[in-house]
Amino acid sequence: MSAPAALARMTCVEDLRQVARARVPRMFYEYVDSGSWRETTYRANERDFQQLLLRQRVARDISQRTVATTMLGHHVAMPVALAPTGLTGMQHADGEILAARAARDFGVPFTLSTMSICSLEDVAASTGRHPFWFQLYVMRDRTFIEALIERARAANCSALQLTLDLPVMGQRHADIRNGLSVPPRPTLRNLLDLALRTRWCLGMLGTRRRSFGNIVGHVKGVDDMASLAAWTNAQFDPMLSWADVEWIKRRWGGPLVLKGILDAEDARRAVDCGADAIVVSNHGGRQLDGAPSAIRALPAIADAVGRETEVWLDSGVRSGQDVLKARALGARGTMIGRAFLYGLGAFGEAGVTRVLQIIRRELDLTMAFCGRTHIDDVDASILLAPQRAGPWD
């Protein structure tokens, strides 16, 4: 079957997940498709979306509809951005470049992770210096952080996204079992698995980008995967504080997005620090297992900050219906991580585009069935009344 024909058969994100599972080596696929500890929060992110019931309306003129809106004041084709995801270039060769191109052409934002395979400079050069966002981790080496911020500025990044919920690494059993380390542990199981992924291996042989491009060669003494491992393990900073957030805000000077907010008090503190947007997120269920789902945490946070800053939601978004429900409960925008990675792992750039097409169509149709014609007119009244604040109260 030709690639276009295979893509046409992909009718939902789950279809692309199944293909990605067959094509991406196990250690990298499970790095994406797993959570921490017992994975209760990871599963709740999707389950709690499903518990929200939509209010169907009929006999309304829904002939003229749009899901276009703005995020950080910029036009977007729909209220969806590609989230920062580490090791994206291990789902598919040159993965960050391909995802950034797909997002650019579709009209939604792309966010590059600090822990990406393709570097800031790679993405900028390969997308015609089209603006994108950059995600920053706070590390002990503040000189490196300052250099990263300047490199993001030089790469024409239009917003900085600071991740707050990874001062230490959550325990992810799948990664431990699979030997996913820096560099990956070459177990017999892993080598046999790689041998079965011919398409993936050929792609990786055809690219020079196989390490963390934002770090290797940019830090003194970090020139290969072995030296990178020692440096990375010592760099994540458990002393991260709001003072660091304020310092980064001053140093960057542009729009700042704070990601990893699950508590209303923290949301208020983020506003006080000058956040231009906050992202309600539990890191996709990959950090604190037993924390609430993102959609469950959203209403209280949206109420706490009001219109003082934009509120977005990340974690668990797998469909256009999820996007609509997040809008109903107070999110200005949403971010997708696993969803676009499934598309990338399955079909590369075309797969990411297909995911975006699927989500936009689902969003448009669901909005129509709820009797609305403009995404900016969507509010809690599209949900059945007892569930407008969430069915968990």
* Active centre residues (catalytic): 283
Residue length of the chain: 393
Q: Contact at 8 Å (CB) between 105 and 354?
A: no
**For residue 109, which amino acid is it?**
P
Nearest Cα to Cα of residue 319 among 302, 330, 334: 334
Q: Number of C-alpha atoms within 13 angstroms, CB side, residue 152?
A: 28
> What are phi and psi for residue 66, nearest 5 degrees?
-145, 140
Secondary structure (3-state) at 59: coil
Query: Is 254:158 a contact under the CB 8 Å cutoff?
Result: yes
In the DSSP assignment, the letter for residue 222 is B
List Cα–Cα distances, 20 to 4, 29, 91, 98, 207, in angstroms: 16, 7, 8, 15, 20
First to last CA, the chain: 49
* Pairing mode of beta strands 157-163, 132-136: parallel
